[in-house]
Amino acid sequence: MQEILIFALVPVIVGALTLASWLLGRWQVGPWLLLGPWQIGPGTLAAGLALVATFFGGWQRFWAGFRDVANRRITVNVFVTLAIFVSIAAGEFLPAAVIILIMAVVGALESYTLDSTRRSIRGLLDLTPPMANVRRGDEEVPVAVAELQYGDIVIVRPGERIPVDGVVTAGAAAVNQAPITGESMPVEKLKGHEVFAGTLNEDGRLEIRTTKIGADTTLARIVHLVEEAQESKAPIQGVADRFTVWFLPAVLVLAVIGYLTSGDVKVAVAILLVACPCAFAIATPSAVAAGIANMARRAVLIKGGIFFEIAGRIDSLVVDKTGTLTLGRPKVLEVISGDGVPKDEVLRLAAIAEKYSEHPLAKAVMALAGEKALEIPDPDEFRIEIGKGVVSSYAGQQIVVGRDVFLREQGIVIPARIEQAVTDQSDLGRTVILVVRSREAIGLLAIADEVRAETVDAIASMRSLGVGKITMLTGDNFKIAQAVASQIGVDEFRADLLPQDKQSAINEMKNKGRIVAMVGDGINDAPALALADVGIVMGGTGADVAIEAADVTLMDGNLSRLVEFVQMSRKVLRRIKINIFFSIIYNVIGLTLAMLGHLTPVMAVIFQEAGCVTVVLSSTLLLWAKVPGLKRRG
């Protein structure tokens, strides 16, 4: 409500002054006051109020017009400034005030649309907790995040989000930093490791020395990047600028012709006023702003209108695998047991050992045990070895669950059959944890990233939108890439790639004349994201360098948003073309009526600004426009 009042303030003041001017102008009464040769009456006051309204509401546009003239540029601001000053010189004060009033209303609508984008973005980026626990001597004191200082030691417990960018000074934990780096598996953080604001402490306790706060954090930088994006122009918007360059001289010629043929200066003024290309000028930015706001509500942040135009024409899509096509959430894909041991027993013992653990791998084990409805009693003892595994006991038996390196450190012999299974599963890119009962390795669990549920539908939907070639790029080995590629239905894949290899693949496609969109998630994708015609980053925020390199951010990491973005791009382009068409029609009709003398200056203003209102309302409809989204299978 407060924002609406702010946006309405200028048009309300200008409107009040203009209305008073109009009412006084209709008051047919003699002068109120004689000051020597000057007679001050309703007409004089009406003209004065109209001038105040004009300059109060239009001084910024006039200043921009004079600046553009000084820079030898013919813009819409130059056109408006000229029309207003010619109107004032001809004694048509009320028309000048009316055109400024309507432009103020249109500007308020545009500002509201832009602000709704900013508010949507800020709401989506509300990942940093408002309070933090800070060490003050021997005590932990709750402090507002906004009041944190560089060097503060922040305490983060299991399940809490990290409020600052910083360096771990004590403790150990598995941190889910997929939003920042795109890593699919949680990362073990120990003393000296860097952590980021907005990431989640899965388990353990961390003490973090603050290195970045407030606007310096990764999350805060996104708001700045997107707000900067609203200032960028789509290539189609250049049409308006080019249009004004030749249109202004043409209208000046028509105004002179109108004056010479009619002998009435009001005809020339009406021609200038009705021809102001305001509607044409806002046809693109208003539609782009509404499209950006709509997408922000859908958790898609777009850096500028140019990417709407490009996305509507892409014919090739390149997608990273890890963290993009996959969830970044581990899942037990296979349970392998030793001789004579049932698989469910291997799983049950692993679940008993991991029951108290908050580690994501433990959650994957517990999830599968839950699916199989296994009864999982509490362990008698439980100890976590950060980054290695867990040691527990139940019913007099010691249970160890962890990596093969950890088992060897414990002096546990791994049977050849189990060791071969470890090798086979590792070759498939899976994380392997072994299960030991009473110092005997009885089996293993193979865990890997899960393909996103929407991936197959998203790929099919992109193909239905006319994207002719879809390629998966990954640094994983050939076997993993082949398995995922066949599952999701891409046209081709390339494996064992380094970041520079991904960039080379993009460059190769562009050299063939293709318009390429790249979807990635982390630092290793940044070179390719920067080179692509449209770079799209996954995850809540992406790594700093990925955000800088990318043009679009899918905040919730859902590939269906990619489809919605392309669909919205086409809607925005269609709306821009419709807006331009109707603005031209308004100008042609208005100029014809003005040349024939059928429009007074006031009527010319109202007719011309009706086009602006129509364009803004047309664009505003995009705020609530719906897109079909995924094309579901079956």
Question: Catalytic residues, which ones?
Answer: 320
Residue appearing with tokens 């706001």: 293
547 residue type, one letter = I
Kind and range of the H or E run holding 300: strand 300-302
Contact 519, 318 (CB under 8 A): yes
User: What is the distance of C-alpha 127 from the center of its chain?
Assistant: 14
Angstrom distances, CA of residue 620 to CA of 185, 575, 609: 42, 10, 16
Kind and range of the H or E run holding 449: strand 440-451
Taking the C-alpha atoms of residue 195 and residue 155, their distance in angstroms, rounded to an integer, is 13
Kind and range of the H or E run holding 76: helix 76-89
Cα–Cα–Cα angle for 396, 401, 406, nearest 5°? 115
Contact 304, 230 (CB under 8 A): yes
DSSP 197-231: TT-EEEEEEEEEEEEE-GGGSHHHHHHHHHHHHTT
SS3 for 22?
helix
Tokens representing residue 353 in the block: 């050992």
Contact 612, 103 (CB under 8 A): yes
Taking the C-alpha atoms of residue 317 and residue 585, their distance in angstroms, rounded to an integer, is 38
End-to-end Cα separation, the chain, in angstroms: 46
Taking the C-alpha atoms of residue 364 and residue 347, their distance in angstroms, rounded to an integer, is 11
Nearest to 273 by CA among 284, 260, 262, 258: 258
Contact 220, 557 (CB under 8 A): no
Angstrom distances, CA of residue 543 to CA of 255, 299, 330, 522: 57, 17, 21, 6
Tokens representing residue 382 in the block: 């439980």
Taking the C-alpha atoms of residue 221 and residue 35, their distance in angstroms, rounded to an integer, is 61
Taking the C-alpha atoms of residue 429 and residue 474, their distance in angstroms, rounded to an integer, is 12
- In the sheet with 516-520, reading across from the earlier edge strand, the strands are 300-302, 552-554, 534-538, 516-520, 316-320, 469-473, 492-494
Taking the C-alpha atoms of residue 567 and residue 563, their distance in angstroms, rounded to an integer, is 6
Taking the C-alpha atoms of residue 446 and residue 343, their distance in angstroms, rounded to an integer, is 12
Residue appearing with tokens 């890119």: 429
CA atoms within 13 A on the CB side of 446: 18
DSSP 228-255: HHTT---GGGHHHHHHHHHHHHHHHHHH
Q: What is the CA radius of gyration of the chain?
A: 33
